[in-house]
Structure 1
Amino acid sequence: MSDFNTIDDLNVSGKTVLVRADLNVPMQDGRVSDTTRIDRLAPTLKELAAKGAKVVILSHFGRPKNGPDAKNSLRHVLADLSAAVGQDVAFAEDCVGDAAKAAIAAVPAGGMVLLENTRFHAEEEKNEPGFAKAIAELGDLYVNDAFSAAHRAHASTEGVAHHLPAAAGRLMQAELEALTKALEKPERPVLAVVGGAKISTKLDLLGNLVSKVDMLALGGGMANTFLFAQGTDVGGSLCEKDMADQARAIMEKAKAAGCELLLPKDFAAAKEFKAGAANRTVPADGIAADEMALDVGPATVEFLKAKIATAKTVVWNGPLGAFEIAPFNAGTNAVAAIVADATQAGTLLSVAGGGDTVAALAAAGVEERFTYVSAAGGAFLEWLEGKELPGVAALKK
């Protein structure tokens, strides 16, 4: 991607390369419970080491309040990180100053050292210039491979890039290339699938998408708010009735932009929200007063299947129903499988992201069959909202 420097633009042999990673991984009983972020980072670290660089890894971890504390030490991820890169990674007790310098000096070219949690210093989140400079003094080059932290202008994600030649790591590069293909320079028609409980949390996102995509399919609780805004009775379903005006404004904006809004045709409706609850399929306007719409129905799946068949690009954020409990995961699973099949057939580029989305697609068993699934929650959403991400802007040529 021409507007950004990548590792290919750097001569790293014999240099000390600072790599901003996102090692803020989930923990259970003091152990890493999901190594996805570590596994996705490993190729960048291994490539730099293989090219003769001394690799220095920076990351935040947890939300420490008052300086260093054992619970939020990056020591917890050291064993998994070493296993992922196939070599023993050294550890420094601080991310700046003498402790960091000594640990880096002790590592040979091709070796790696993990520095302690950047958030043990309050200056990190304030993007304090002196602190960014102190980090920059530790290396010759800067590589940012933490797209998931790119929406925050912190010292280690943005500030340091002003002091050293800066480039995107392979994970950041893959993310930026996937996102550019999906929304900046997409093959059309583009269909966006947006689900989730509330439109109030996704107003900016919906407002930006209707001006960028050709079709917008809505599901989850937010679809009920749009139906209600059109005068449909949604019974006892989750619905933000006070957001009806905003929903109507988005419909108007979509109409003006020539974006087709795709609302559910039918629902799986139930009287209680629990696994295996008795339910029936009803048309969108057929929900009884004591029922809730908990998933899109089969007619909606067929409707979306026909629309997906006409699309060249799909961007997905949020489930179409209460995907955490069967049988109300059926709609999300069915539509996800349709997108995955078209992707594998080579007719569709599919990009998905955001917390619940990754979980829903993993539960549907299709995560590996999309073109790209972003593990970056907040950064992916801000990108969908059309916002410039400080950590990405700092890497521009």
Structure 2
Amino acid sequence: MGLTRIENIEVKSKRVFVRVDFDVRIENGNILESSRIEKVIPTIELLYGKGAKVIIGTHLGNPGGSVNPEYSVRPLIDKLSTLLDKTVIAPETNNIDDWIKKSKDIKDGDILFLENLNYFPGEEENSPEFAKKLSELCDIFVNDAFSISHKSLASTVGITDHVPSVPGTLLYREIETFQNLVNKPEKPFLAIFGGSKVSSKIKILNSLLPRVTNILIGGAMAYTFLKSRAVPVGSSVIEKDFEVLSHQFIDKAGIGGIEILLPVDHIIADSYSKKAKTKSVDRMGIIDGWMGMDIGSKTVSLFEKTIKNAGTIFWNGPMGVIEFDKFSNGTLQIAKAISKSNAKSIIGGFDTVEAVYKAGVENKITHLSTGGEACLEFLEGKQLPGIIALGKERE
């Protein structure tokens, strides 16, 4: 991998800025799902346990580059303090110069949590000036935010021009997992894709063809593939501009001996609503005025057989409209099927990982990635700016 491990650096009495991604769902001040926070605990505990002065930074939502109390990180500070059973110091102002001063005043083993980095337009712009200011907070920078490492931000890329920079334990594990998935997957290698858009997945689908044994496709994106094969899809959401590419992809896979499995039955609805009327239809297609909302029981059984025989499984994207409980069964059943398999399983994508927790099988999955776009771009062979920046030479 060629990156220095955080375990191998001296951090005692040094200010260490850890960039995390705690962009979690919050309602009325309550965090709905905290796995993203929990996964970074080992890095934070390692650092303060060695006597580092730990500074935590994250974004939360999209406040548009200005201060907005609605996007304050205060609920995150409270949650982290509870998880660590340790005081976490909150910022007294939204002024970065005050943060820099505070970072010099905290004691060894203390944790200072900065306010929302997206309060500053320089963060998403990767402003050299803002990156330089961030570097004044620390002696060492740690990136533990794999999920945003495909972006060039001041707090993931720009800052590395100024201070020694290393991956945290979570980021290192993510890199190691996906490098192994790219270079040496145990066969048969099964890829499962769902979600809404073919447009966001067609590149990764094509890039995986030389490596996979089978591909299962569900979710709304399946209807574009089905339409490309002249299967009636009713009023289901499709991407007309990608019908030809979808048709060509299936043909290309067939020539290469790669099995592509599409849904053979569907749970359909007469409207996009949790109160919609529903029914099940088979491979003859979806009737006019109705739309596909989930894979049916026959599709679940078909997919389960392929999952059972896999040596490695990568899954990204739900099988149905999981925000409505009545259309989440297909996704939950696939999660349970993967948990029962003997395959090495890697699952990425916020909604997909959330579904795994909802199914109660998170402890039976080999690796639940914090990345969505980041893991897809890694698998596609792209170099992620936030990771490349950790290995560059500094003046």
Cα pair 2:280 2:296 within 8 Å, conserved: no
Cα pair 2:132 2:159 within 8 Å, conserved: yes
* Residue of structure 1 in register with 2:74 after alignment: 75
> 1:188, CA displacement in angstroms?
1.9
> 1:217, CA displacement in angstroms?
0.6
Cα pair 1:224 1:237 within 8 Å, conserved: yes
Q: Does 1:315 align with 2:314?
A: yes
The separation in 1 between residues aligned to 2:30 and 2:326, in whole angstroms, is 33
What pairs with 1:209-228 in structure 2 (closer than 5 Å)?
209-228=208-227
Q: What are the Cα deviations for residues 177-220 of structure 1, in whole angstroms up to 9, with x where unaligned?
A: 23223334322221111112331332223232334322111112
What pairs with 1:290-369 in structure 2 (closer than 5 Å)?
290-325=289-324, 327-342=326-341, 347-369=342-364
* Residue of structure 1 in register with 2:154 after alignment: 155
Cα pair 2:219 2:320 within 8 Å, conserved: yes
Q: Does 1:196 align with 2:195?
A: yes
- RMSD of aligned C-alpha atoms? 2.6
The separation in 2 between residues aligned to 1:97 and 1:329, in whole angstroms, is 44
Q: Counterpart amino acid of 2:334?
A: V
Q: What are the Cα deviations for residues 85-107 of structure 1, in whole angstroms up to 9, with x where unaligned?
A: 22212233468754123212221
Specify whether residues 63 and 298 from structure 1 end up closer, same or farther in structure 2 by C-alpha distance, changes over 3 A only: closer
> 1:256, CA displacement in angstroms?
4.7
> 1:36, CA displacement in angstroms?
2.6
Q: Counterpart amino acid of 1:359?
A: E
Of 382, 390, 393, which residue of structure 1 is paired with 2:388?
A: 393
Cα pair 2:293 2:321 within 8 Å, conserved: yes
* Residue of structure 1 in register with 2:365 after alignment: 370
Cα pair 1:94 1:117 within 8 Å, conserved: no
Gapped runs of 5+ residues in structure 2?
A: none
> 1:269, CA displacement in angstroms?
4.4
| Runs of 4+ residues deviating >6 angstroms | none
Q: Counterpart amino acid of 1:349?
A: K
> 1:302, CA displacement in angstroms?
2.8
> 1:327, CA displacement in angstroms?
4.7
> 1:300, CA displacement in angstroms?
2.4
Q: Does 1:146 align with 2:145?
A: yes
Q: Counterpart amino acid of 2:147?
A: S
Q: TM-score, normalised by structure 1?
A: 0.88
- Name the SS for the 2:79 alignment partner: helix
Question: Paired residues, what number?
Answer: 391
The separation in 2 between residues aligned to 1:266 and 1:125, in whole angstroms, is 43
The separation in 2 between residues aligned to 1:92 and 1:70, in whole angstroms, is 13
The separation in 2 between residues aligned to 1:29 and 1:325, in whole angstroms, is 21
- Name the SS for the 1:245 alignment partner: helix
Specify whether residues 133 and 236 from structure 1 end up closer, same or farther in structure 2 by C-alpha distance, changes over 3 A only: closer
Cα pair 1:143 1:166 within 8 Å, conserved: yes
* Residue of structure 2 in register with 1:379 after alignment: 374
Cα pair 2:150 2:374 within 8 Å, conserved: yes
* Residue of structure 2 in register with 1:27 after alignment: 26
The separation in 2 between residues aligned to 1:210 and 1:203, in whole angstroms, is 11
What pairs with 1:109-120 in structure 2 (closer than 5 Å)?
109-120=108-119
Specify whether residues 207 and 94 from structure 1 end up closer, same or farther in structure 2 by C-alpha distance, changes over 3 A only: farther
* Residue of structure 1 in register with 2:279 after alignment: 279
Q: What are the Cα deviations for residues 145-196 of structure 1, in whole angstroms up to 9, with x where unaligned?
A: 1112212111111111232221111221222223223334322221111112
> 1:291, CA displacement in angstroms?
4.5
> 1:358, CA displacement in angstroms?
2.2
The separation in 1 between residues aligned to 2:152 and 2:65, in whole angstroms, is 20
Specify whether residues 297 and 32 from structure 1 end up closer, same or farther in structure 2 by C-alpha distance, changes over 3 A only: closer
Cα pair 1:254 1:260 within 8 Å, conserved: yes
Q: What are the Cα deviations for residues 295-331 of structure 1, in whole angstroms up to 9, with x where unaligned?
A: 3333322322222232111111112233344554333
